[in-house]
């Protein structure tokens, strides 16, 4: 999975990047196919006394977006990733249910 980080008024330490990539590794198991790698864009910022994280993943010609806000940045980013994961799982179940037909 290709991950791009954008920080508004802040930057990530290399050790923090490694921790976040481990979180995205779980997500890449759902998204990466033989056709290619998925792309994720992470935007984080500190505004109005709280940290905001937005994760955008392009999957099957759709943009899946998860947003989270928390006092701690490294709690907000995994929450946003979890929201994206939940949306993708829901979409995969919908696709699977429409394609499968009960045997008669």
pLDDT at 65: 94
* 1-to-18, 27, 40, 48, 97 alpha-carbon distances in Å: 14, 9, 7, 32, 26
How many whole angstroms separate alpha carbon 102 and alpha carbon 96?
12
pLDDT at 69: 93
Instruction: Tell me the average confidence (pLDDT) per consecutive run of 10 residues in the chain, 104 residues long.
Output: 81 80 83 76 86 88 90 86 91 75 67
* 10-to-68, 91, 99 alpha-carbon distances in Å: 17, 33, 45
pLDDT at 100: 63
Give this prediction's pTM.
0.78
pLDDT at 54: 93
pLDDT at 103: 67
């Amino acid at each position: 999975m290709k991950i791009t980080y954008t920080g508004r008024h802040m930057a990530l330490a290399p050790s923090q990047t490694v921790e976040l990539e481990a979180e995205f590794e779980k997500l890449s198991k759902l998204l990466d196919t033989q056709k290619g790698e998925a792309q994720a864009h992470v935007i984080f910022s500190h505004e109005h006394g709280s940290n905001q994280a937005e994760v955008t993943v392009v999957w099957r010609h759709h943009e899946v977006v998860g947003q989270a806000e928390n006092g701690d940045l490294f709690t907000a980013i995994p929450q946003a990733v979890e929201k994206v994961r939940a949306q993708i799982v829901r979409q995969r179940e919908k696709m699977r249910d429409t394609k499968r037909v009960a045997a008669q």
